[in-house]
Every structure is written in C-alpha cells, then in structure tokens.
C-alpha cells in the first residue's frame, strides 16, 4: 500500500501545482521554458503513475473489503463510463463538447473514478479511485478562479465532436469487452 500511496502523492503533487501556486508554476515556465517544464512535469508524473500501477497491483494481492458492491451498481458503472472516452478525446479535439463542458478531461476523470468506486469495494480501490475523485473535484473547483490557458494553434471544429463520440464509443467497447481484462486483469461485470 505504501508504493500506491507514494505514487498517488507524487502524481497529484505535480498535477496540483497550478491549484496550489499558479504563480510559481508560471515563473518556473518563464525560467525553464515551456518545453523543459513540460518534460520535467511529464517525467515526474510518469514516475508517479508507474508507482500507482505497481502499488495497486501489489495492494490487490492483499484484499481488504470495505463494502460489497451489488450487481446493479456494476450496471450503473458501465453506463456511467460510456462518455469517458469521448470526453477525454474532446480535450485534444476541441469542438462543441469542449466548449460546453469546458474541462472534459477533469469531468472524464471524475466520472471514471465515481463509476469505479460504485463497482469496487476493496480498500485499494477506495484509495485509488477515491483520491482521483477528490482531486478532480478540487481541480474543477479551482478552475473557476484560475485563468484559462489556451493554445493559439488549436482550433475548434464541429467535426471533432463526431470524431470524439465515434472513436470514444469504439474505445469504450474495445476496453469493456477485451482490453480491461487484459490490461487490469479484471473483466467488467456485465451480468
């Protein structure tokens, strides 16, 4: 469990810099340049993510049940997860979805975490998905007061919405039917 928690702390620390001290983040970008800042940021975030994955695998080997989810919660989770991939794609393919939602990646993380909390009641699941849910809520709240950073090279296209939904639903089906079991070792419950 210590590796999982260490990974979460590293991952969320780097992902919370703008929440806690946006002016420091901006001064570091000015000093280092955007490319070096993004490189260092990505390196630290990747280390955190790898520790999260490794720690979660280890923590699942010593299961501790907190609450037993019912079969109908599994079904609700599967329905909740349908918009997650389209929202993630809308982050990089801006169109009406991104314009309406504003922060589609954070909303996707929030839905993903909540859906997994509904269908997983082990202690390691509560730590992993609960921390992502809390972080996404805090980050969405902070977005209301932070300035929006835009990329002037990114243009919104209405056709992107069709791509997001089509590819996103395809990814949802692919992950649900095959990849989740292969990558995570746990098949989603459809019954």
> How far is 85 from 62, CA to CA, in rounded Å?
31
How far CA 182 is from CA of 113, 154, 188, in Å, comes to: 20, 35, 11
State yes or no: pLDDT of 154 exceeds 70. no
Please name every residue paired with 122 in a beta bridge, in sequence order, or none if there are none. 65
Better-scored residue on pLDDT, 117 or 146:
117
Residue 187 confidence (pLDDT): 74
Write the CB contacts of 96 (distance below 8 Å, at least 6 apart in sequence): 156, 158, 161
- Of 84, 70, 80, nearest to 120 (Cα)? 70
Average pLDDT, the chain: 91
pLDDT tens readout for residues 36-46: 999 999 999 99
Residue 179 confidence (pLDDT): 83
At residue 123, φ and ψ (nearest 5 deg) are -55, -45
pLDDT grade for 144, boundaries at 50, 70 and 90:
confident
Sign of CA dihedral 45, 50, 51, 57: positive
State yes or no: pLDDT of 87 exceeds 80. yes
pLDDT tens readout for residues 30-86: 999 999 999 999 999 999 999 999 999 999 999 999 999 888 898 999 999 999 999
What is this structure's pTM?
Answer: 0.88
State yes or no: pLDDT of 156 exceeds 80. no
> Stretch 131-136: mean pLDDT, rounded?
97
């Amino acid at each position: 469990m210590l590796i999982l928690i260490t990974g979460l702390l590293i991952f969320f620390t780097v992902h919370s810099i703008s929440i806690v001290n946006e002016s420091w983040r901006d001064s570091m970008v000015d000093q280092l340049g955007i490319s070096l800042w993004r490189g260092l940021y990505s390196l630290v975030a990747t280390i955190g993510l790898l520790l999260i994955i490794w720690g979660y695998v280890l923590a699942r080997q010593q299961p501790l049940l907190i609450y037993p989810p019912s079969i109908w919660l599994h079904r609700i989770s599967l329905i909740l997860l349908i918009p997650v991939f389209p929202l993630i794609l809308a982050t990089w393919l801006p169109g009406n979805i991104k314009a309406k939602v504003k922060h589609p990646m954070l909303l996707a993380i929030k839905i993903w975490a909540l859906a997994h909390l509904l269908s997983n009641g082990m202690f390691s699941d509560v730590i992993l998905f609960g921390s992502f849910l809390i972080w996404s809520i805090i980050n969405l709240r902070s977005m209301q007061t932070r300035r929006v950073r835009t990329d002037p090279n990114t243009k919104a296209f209405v056709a992107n919405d069709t791509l997001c939904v089509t590819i996103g639903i395809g990814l949802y089906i692919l992950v649900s039917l095959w990849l989740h079991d292969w990558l995570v070792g746990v098949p989603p419950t459809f019954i």
